[in-house]
Amino acid sequence: MSEKISLRNRFIQTILKVDKAMTWLYDSHIHLSDSDYYPNLDHIIKGMENINIKACCVSMDTADSKRTLEIGKKSKLILPFIGIHPERANDDLDLMIDLIGNNHHHLSGIGEIGLDPTYVKYPEDNKRQIHVFETLLSIAEKFQKPVSIHSRKSLDNIFQIMTSYETKHALLHWFDGSKKQLEKAMDMNFFVSYGPVLIYANDKQMLLSETPEKKILVETDGPVKFSKCFEMKSGQIYFIPSVIFCASKILGKSYDEMALLLEENSKSFLGI
């Protein structure tokens, strides 16, 4: 049996051995409101119940945020985050402000928000992204909500902007910075999250090993697709035990120890 298949089987065994009575697992960043999940959402929720997983369900824009709020009503395991992704920076910001204001008691956080030069074609696009990001940071600060931040190719700008805000807690989801940027993130008391690529990417494994244990979270960012042992499948919430298993090996912990640490970290991020 190849090493890849053996490793995959060990991940499956880990999922089957999850002790429901012991620890809650958390996917800190997944897009369950995405249309990819529509046909199977009830099945996904049932699976979450079976293996004790809660999900921070993040949003892309106002329409997506409304779907997230509706999905949040289906199960207490779904923790709704609403916001405007930098790709959708031209969305109706005033409508989003009203949506947050009218639903803040039901929200677990604000997100996905942030900056990304990938979606900038003109100088006005960059200005709009910054305006949307800063506005939603202000709203998060007002209602004392944690934020889930998109920071692809923009970490230094994120750091500079965030010095002006006192949000409850902030997550740099899918952290992909340098060791120096990781140190800066820790100095600013950010959480950082690692996803399924941790299982096969040496650079992510190295970053995890350098991250203070109390600041580590895990995520899937589904429905993003993953290669290697995941065979280009869309991110599913049941990948989380595999990510935890991998993290435990990197940090020299048992699976149970890692799961308990991540539960505590997730609760700290969420303020619960």
Helix residue ranges, H only, the chain: 3-16, 41-50, 62-72, 93-103, 123-143, 155-162, 179-187, 202-210, 240-251, 255-270
Q: What is the 3-state secondary structure (H, E, C) of 183-241?
A: HHHHHCCCEEEECHHHHCCHHHHHHHHHCCHHHEEECCCCCCEECHHHCCEECCHHHHH
**What is the per-residue pLDDT for 14?**
53
Banded model confidence at residue 6, pLDDT cuts 50, 70, 90: low
Q: Give the span between the Cα atoms of 30 and 77, in whole angstroms.
A: 13
Would residue 17 count as lying in a domain? no
- The backbone torsions φ and ψ at residue 164, rounded to the nearest 5 degrees and listed phi first, read -95, 0
| Burial of residue 234 (number of CB atoms within 10 Å: 0-12, 13-18, 19+) | middle
Q: Quote the number of domains for the chain.
A: 1
Would residue 9 count as lying in a domain? no
Would residue 196 count as lying in a domain? yes
Higher pLDDT, 13 or 33: 33
CA distances from 111 to 26, 100, 132 (A): 16, 11, 12
Would residue 15 count as lying in a domain? no
Q: Give the span between the Cα atoms of 71 and 65, in whole angstroms.
A: 10
**What is the per-residue pLDDT for 229?**
81
Q: Give the span between the Cα atoms of 245 and 46, in whole angstroms.
A: 22
In DSSP terms, 264 is beta-bridged to none
Instruction: State how far Cα 217 lies from the chain centre.
Output: 8
Residue 174: domain span: 25-270
Q: Tell me the three state secondary structure of residue 119.
A: helix
Would residue 2 count as lying in a domain? no
Would residue 144 count as lying in a domain? yes
Model's pTM, two decimal places? 0.91
For 224, the token pair is 């993003």
Banded model confidence at residue 261, pLDDT cuts 50, 70, 90: very high
The per-residue pLDDT for range 170-223, each reduced to its tens digit, is 999 999 999 999 999 999 999 999 999 999 999 999 999 999 999 999 999 999
The per-residue pLDDT for range 19-29, each reduced to its tens digit, is 445 799 999 99
The per-residue pLDDT for range 67-77, each reduced to its tens digit, is 999 999 999 99
DSSP code of residue 108: S
Would residue 53 count as lying in a domain? yes
Would residue 13 count as lying in a domain? no
* CATH classification at residue 193: 3.20.20.140
